[in-house]
Chain A
Amino acid sequence: METPRFELTASPHIKGPDSTPRIMWTVVGSLVPVILASVWYFGPSAVLVIATTTASCVLTERFLGHGRTLRDGSATITGILLGLTLPAGLPLWMAFIGGVFAIGLGKLIFGGLGQNVFNPALLGRAFMQAAFPQALTTWPDLGGSWWALRGDNLAFPFMTPHVVSSMTGATPLGLMKFEGAHTALAKLIFGSTGGSLGETASLVILVCGGYLALKKYLDWRIPISIFITVAVLSQLIHIFMPGKPDALFMLFSGGLMLGAVFMATDMVTSPSTPRGAWIYGAGIGALVVVIRLWGGLPEGVMYAILLMNSLVPFINRATQPRLFGTGKEAAA
């Protein structure tokens, strides 16, 4: 009896539909509305900055990474997310360096996809915050002609950007912190405020995140836990110290939405256990409130997430799931 050659694999012999590239590219797809919102508010500068960071992330992954890892789409996500955290008027050369740093030192140095401890996009941004503090906190004002470039997009590398002060606005958090001024809630929700490219359109971010959560491509527990913690803590503080902002302002201002929905939920750098997700989210929420209200910076989402990233291995270890047939549920 002649035996033809057959596939020999271990069980299971069939595979579910999800794949890592599919997850990653779906996340990229769900970021498109956020990008469009940023283009709506910040014009062509948004396209330039996001395209630059994406290109630099992808190129870095291509030339410093091992093997063909571009297909999985994770470098593209990092690039887009990094771009979304930057101000519209940022010189593009800075954005490019930020992208190289995000992938090179945020991911590849740890061993590539799945190995990194910190969210690469946020690590890249933290680096830029330290390297280019002034440019990173220069927020171009909204308004002006739609097609005009904001700020100093085309500044030459290593030249001091000449900030046109009349064009410089402030973020709602900056206004609150340094001038005690308040921004209307509707503006915050729809995003017509100053701020980073992708952080202003809270509603768009929530809808896109909801879609990903339904597909189970992000853990809904993390953003929910962050929102609850921030809302409860800040509302309590607001009651006892009316000078401090209330829960709604805290939720819809700054990078909280973008961070909670798209950055804190990065699968690689967040806990994989359900209980861990709650703890991790609560930690981020508490840190955000503390940094925003009492820290030297107006915004704290980035550092809150990075700090909690570093605790993920410990959280995972401490929140292992209850084994079937142990504990109260098991019949003795």
Chain B
Amino acid sequence: MLNLFGHTFRHGVHPPESKGLTEHVPIRRMPFPKRIALPLRQHAGKPAKCLVRKGDRVERGDKIAEADGYVSVPIHASAAGTVAEIGWWPHPDGSMVETVVIDVEHYSPQIPRPRLVPDWHGLTPDQVRAAVQEGGVVGLGGAAFPTHVKLAPPKELPIEWLLVNGAECEPYLTTDHRTMVEYPERVHFGIRIMMQCLGVKRAVIGVEMNKPDAIEALQRTIPADLDVTVRGLTVKYPQGAEKMLINVVTGREVPSGKLPMHVGTVVQNVGSIATIAEIFETGLPLIERVVTVTGPGVRRPSNLIVPVGAMLGDVLDFCGGITDDAEEIVFGGPMMGSSQPDMRTPITKGTTGVVVLTASEVKPKTTYPCIKCGHCLDACPVFLNPSQLGLLAQAGRYDEMQTRYHLQDCMLCGSCSYVCPSNIPLSQMFALSKSALRKQAAAAPPPPPKTEDEGAEGAKVA
């Protein structure tokens, strides 16, 4: 379809960008905290299998848990020290997850073993993929999907484009922004590795136009031998959603229920690409990441390199602590992040930022009935009818939500909740409905029993 409104997708919302607090603050390194907590589940897919025991001594970069299967990655110690504890620990998603807690050795120079990741030169794509998996690399944009899986699309789906996602459409966050400004060569090196691995000829970096310095830095450093273009994108949420980015750059819509590779694209977050480059450059696996610590409730908003596993309390302390009127702490951006109750919660590989909100930013509590204003229909980037879905969710009619109103296409971007004048928690309701449907599917009765006796027996067991 001819797009009359420039490089943008239809619908979406315009939350205040609020990036001014940190967008020009250079990335600093946070000192090692006294303790770090490394959850065994930090990625999409199967949790890693623990390799250490309490009391074990680990060096920085040592593997402490190994990948359990293909869609899984290992976890590495982000500081040298002693394993103090292995047990349940608060996780950013709100649950308790098995976690390795390491007492960091105070006087250790924190020098890692030499080159844990092989040199990139001369590696075959398969060797690169193996190294990326062994390096524990996942998408750093939030979903933490193992990167080596993305690097190995099925043979029958030819990949035409590599899309590098530097949109960073979430308010407040400047992690990718600073990475692009300070490490543009690293981004391009990562692109080179990915392009070689995927065998693609063209790469496009999409950056929202509110980051002119990032666009400039990337354009200045494009290697002469690569077909890489930097594309300015309209500032609109959720511009950084895979489907939206693909739509804007290629003009294609990813068919409902399909993946980006079905339209010949692989999308990778700019931070993750820089990480791929970083592990081959430094020889160290993914043990630290850039995190934006920001929001009006933080005394010294910063962009930090944080060891994976550093706890929320330590990170905030390093940033001068929180103000007295801080009301809510969010991991990730305020549109899709999760609020945190516990100062012991660790920064994981997928934590893009820590946003501390005060009373004036926290959403109001009063809700009103749906007045069918249709604002959510104008906001939904995948053209659902959130108003109708919300009414069905309230009535518990989950099946109808799925079959008639395409609940499965909802990516929980939160645009509908953001615009709803009645403050109805639509995306929360959809998340709950989706999980109810998953439970329903899991608890679906097995195929009907053959005889009556067996049926009675089965019913008792169930």
Contact = CB atoms under 8 A, between A and B. Distances in A.
B246 to A, nearest CB: 10
Given A6-B341, A15-B418, A18-B419, A113 B368 contact: yes
Nearest to B411: A324
Interface in A101-148: 112-115
B32 interface: no
Contacts of B381: 324
Nearest to B247: A324
A267 B374 contact: yes
A273 B414 contact: no
A162 interface: no
B383 A12 contact: no
Q: Main secondary structure on chain A at its contact with chain B? A: loop
Interface in A294-332: 316, 320-326, 328-332
A181 interface: no
Contact of B15 (A16, A21, A23, A332): A16
A238 interface: no
Given A1-B343, A6-B328, A6-B340, A23 B255 contact: no
Interface in B396-447: 405-406, 409, 412, 414, 417-423, 425, 427-428, 431
A194 B250 CA distance: 59
A205 B255 CA distance: 45
Interface in B297-322: 311, 313
A323 B431 contact: no
A324 B255 CA distance: 7
Given A1-B313, A12-B336, A272 B255 contact: no
Contact of A325 (B343, B409, B414, B420): B409
A284 to B, nearest CB: 17
Contacts of A3: 341-344
Contacts of B414: 11-12
Contacts of B249: none
A22 B419 CA distance: 13
Interface string B360-388: 01111000111111110110111111011
Interface in A23-77: 23, 72, 74
A325 B256 contact: yes
Contact of A324 (B373, B383, B412, B417): B383
Interface residues of B, number: 74
A16 B418 contact: yes
A115 B368 CA distance: 12
Contact of B384 (A6, A268, A323, A330): A323
Given A3-B343, A325-B256, A13 B337 contact: yes
A321 B383 contact: yes
A331 B263 contact: yes
Contacts of A113: 368-369, 371
A8 B374 contact: no
A232 B46 CA distance: 64
A179 interface: no
Given A6-B327, A18-B419, A114-B372, A323 B340 contact: no
Interface in B248-272: 252-258, 262-263
A10 interface: yes
Contacts of B335: 11-14
Contact of A13 (B253, B328, B388): B328
A325 B374 contact: no
Name, among A3, A5, A23, A272, the residue most crowded by chain B CB atoms within 10 Å (CB to CB).
Answer: A272
A292 B354 CA distance: 63
A325 B382 contact: yes
B241 to A, nearest CB: 10
Interface string A141-177: 0000000000000000000000000000000000000
B1 interface: yes
Given A9-B328, A20-B368, A14 B363 contact: yes
A221 B113 CA distance: 67
Interface string A266-277: 011011111000
B357 interface: yes
Contacts of A9: 328, 339, 362-363
Given A3-B343, A12-B417, A332-B255, A321 B427 contact: no
A303 B193 CA distance: 68
Name, among B326, B373, B422, the residue most crowded by chain A CB atoms within 10 Å (CB to CB).
Answer: B373
B229 interface: no
A199 interface: no
Nearest to A15: B363
Contacts of B382: 323-325
Contacts of B171: 14
A66 B362 CA distance: 28
Contacts of B372: 114, 267-268, 270, 272
Nearest to A270: B372
B336 A330 contact: no
A271 B420 CA distance: 16
Given A325-B256, A329-B253, A10 B431 contact: yes
B65 interface: no
B212 to A, nearest CB: 25
A20 B422 contact: yes
Name, among B171, B258, B344, B369, the residue most crowded by chain A CB atoms within 10 Å (CB to CB).
Answer: B369
A12 B342 CA distance: 19
Contact of B13 (A16, A74, A272): A16
A7 B431 contact: no
Name, among A21, A74, A321, A322, the residue most crowded by chain B CB atoms within 10 Å (CB to CB).
Answer: A321
B83 interface: no
A219 interface: yes
Contacts of B385: 272-273, 320-321
B329 interface: yes
Contact of B374 (A11, A115, A272): A272
A321 B431 contact: no
B39 interface: no
A13 B186 CA distance: 33
B243 interface: yes
B336 A323 contact: no
Contacts of A12: 334-336, 363, 414, 417-418, 427
B330 interface: yes
B219 interface: no
A112 B406 CA distance: 29
5 contacts: A7-B327, A8-B341, A18-B375, A274-B374, A325-B255
Given A12-B417, A272-B373, 9 more contacts: A9-B339, A11-B428, A14-B335, A267-B372, A321-B377, A325-B243, A325-B256, A326-B255, A330-B255
Interface of B: 1, 13, 15-16, 171, 243, 252-258, 262-263, 311, 313, 326-330, 332, 334-344, 355, 357, 361-364, 368-375, 377-378, 380-385, 387-388, 405-406, 409, 412, 414, 417-423, 425, 427-428, 431
Interface of A: 1-3, 5-16, 18-23, 72, 74, 112-115, 216, 219, 267-268, 270-274, 316, 320-326, 328-332
Ranked 3 nearest A-B pairs via Cβ: A114-B369, A12-B414, A272-B374
